[in-house]
Amino acid sequence: MSSLFEPLPIRFEGRFADEHLVDAKALSESLAGMNRLVNTSMFMLERWRVPSKRQSAPIRVMASPPAEGSYEFLVHVLSADGMLPVVADIIANRGQELVWRMLSTTLLFNSNKERDVEPHFTELMRLTQDLRQDRNASEERHFALIKELALSNRNASSRFVANVGYDANKLLLPLGDSVTEIDIESAEIIREKGEVSVGELSKFRCHVDGLKRHNRALTVQLDVTP
């Protein structure tokens, strides 16, 4: 059974991931989250509505082994019975970019980076002209629908970034010269279900005393001078 379109690369960087190692339990969480995000994205592209928890697209999501020297693996989307032929033809030509942009918008929405969603949304509107059943609906309606899908996938997004901050510093979704990056701060926001946000970051100097063995205490002083 062949893939519907070119496989999509997913890469972890930093910490153990640079040594071609990641935690097995966190990786299983990440793969399960990724599977749900890809499946709901394909459901949206086929029917242009948000699936219920029990609904899924007629596809199988497969992951190939990572390449040696990195922790990048390829995501393959295989067709099962039931996909409309016209949809399958469009997905075959545009599927890799469509799924990449759908995954990117979901992660960006859930990390409170709505401003970064706009370029993806513009391209999604262009690429899905032949797929959208309600082509006359306003862009605001389509934007709200994609945001609804993203927010319905908060738990799946949280699982997808399970390795970030644990055994990797970043989750990267590269496509050509473009890349969607989820760093530790963004992953923490996703895990907090959008209830926290990161403002402007400032640098501070910390003074740390040595560990006192008798009470196992460690003194940390924050220098707030410019």
CA distances from 88 to 40, 100, 127, 160, 188 (A): 16, 17, 14, 26, 36
Q: What is the mean pLDDT of each run of 10 residues along the chain (226 residues)?
A: 86 91 94 96 90 90 79 87 68 90 96 93 88 72 92 96 95 96 96 66 67 68 67
Residue 27 near residue 34 (C-beta atoms within 8 A) = no
Question: How many domains would you assign to the chain?
Answer: 1
End-to-end CA separation in angstroms for the chain: 61
Residue 74's H or E segment, with its range, is: strand 71-79
What pairs with residue 206 in β-bridges? 222
- Does 222 map to a domain? no
Residue reference for tokens 């473009």 = 178
pLDDT at 23: 93
pLDDT at 62: 94
pLDDT at 210: 66
Residue 8 near residue 75 (C-beta atoms within 8 A) = yes
Check the CA dihedral 147-153-158-159 and report its sign. Answer: negative
Token representation of residue 153: 């996938």
Would residue 82 be called left, alpha or beta, if left means φ above 0 and alpha means ψ between -120 and 50 degrees? left
Residue 1's H or E segment, with its range, is: none
Instruction: State if pTM tops 0.85.
Output: no
- Does 80 map to a domain? yes
- Does 126 map to a domain? yes
pLDDT at 93: 84
- Does 97 map to a domain? yes
Q: Which residue range forms the structural domain that includes residue 73?
A: 8-197
- Does 204 map to a domain? no
- Does 210 map to a domain? no
- Does 160 map to a domain? yes
Residue reference for tokens 């070119």 = 6
pLDDT at 3: 84
Segments in the chain forming alpha helices (H): 24-47, 85-110, 118-127, 139-152, 154-160, 184-191
- Does 79 map to a domain? yes
Q: How far apart are the C-alpha atoms of 143 and 167, rounded to whole Å?
A: 34
Would residue 205 be called left, alpha or beta, if left means φ above 0 and alpha means ψ between -120 and 50 degrees? beta
